[in-house]
Amino acid sequence: MSDKTVVSIEDNYHNRRLVRKILESSGFAVVEAEDGLSGLALVRQLRPPLVLLDIGLPDIDGLEVVRQIRADADLAGIKVIAISASAMRGDRELFLAAGCDDYLAKPIKVAELLHLVEAHWPAGQAIGA
Ligand code: CA
């Protein structure tokens, strides 16, 4: 695994492509999953520094994904940023309470996504370069 690997769990093709484009142009390697269970399997396999997690997924939702990540001691330290179209009052608190480190509202904006990824990148892991 590259130290700059991000796992992107997102069922929408256009959002997946946008995330990939933004992160790859900043030097990250992006590995994608289209649903929650395959995303969890990827996270367990790769143990990436950071996961971008869509909340609305076709099988288990993103909240269940992050709960399972947080319940697994082997995955301790992985940063999880939720991405969701829903911007209801209280959503952010819900996502953080489930174990997410932060939350990005759709539509995804380049500067916001990069800022969040860099702000939460685990200490000691190379970034930039
Ligand atoms: Ca979705």
Question: Does 64 map to a domain?
Answer: yes
Question: Does 16 map to a domain?
Answer: yes
Question: Does 127 map to a domain?
Answer: no
Distance, CA of 11 to CA of 25 (rounded, Å):
21
Q: If you measure from the C-alpha of residue 129 to the centroid of ligand 1, how many angstroms do you get, rounded to a whole number?
A: 31
Question: Does 59 map to a domain?
Answer: yes
Backbone angles phi, psi at 45, to 5 degrees: -75, -45
Q: If you measure from the C-alpha of residue 64 to the centroid of ligand 1, how many angstroms do you get, rounded to a whole number?
A: 14
Q: If you measure from the C-alpha of residue 102 to the centroid of ligand 1, how many angstroms do you get, rounded to a whole number?
A: 17
Question: Does 40 map to a domain?
Answer: yes
The residue that leads in pLDDT, 88 or 106, is: 106
Tokens describing residue 56: 């609305």
Question: Does 129 map to a domain?
Answer: no
Nearest 5°: the CA angle 1, 46, 93 is 120
**Parent domain of 45:** 5-120
Question: Does 126 map to a domain?
Answer: no
pLDDT at site 92: 87
ω into residue 107 within 30 of 0, thus cis? Answer: yes
Q: Which amino acid is at 84?
A: S
Which residues hold their Cβ within 5 A of ligand 1, which is an ion?
Answer: 11, 54, 56
Residue range 99-113: average pLDDT? 95
Domain count of the fold of the chain: 1
pLDDT per position as a tens digit, 8-63? 999 999 999 999 999 999 999 999 999 999 999 999 999 999 999 999 999 999 99
Distance, CA of 100 to CA of 120 (rounded, Å):
11
Q: Is the pLDDT of residue 78 over 50?
A: yes
Question: Does 125 map to a domain?
Answer: no
pTM listed for this prediction: 0.93
Q: If you measure from the C-alpha of residue 103 to the centroid of ligand 1, how many angstroms do you get, rounded to a whole number?
A: 14
Q: If you measure from the C-alpha of residue 67 to the centroid of ligand 1, how many angstroms do you get, rounded to a whole number?
A: 17
Q: 108: domain CATH number?
A: 3.40.50.2300
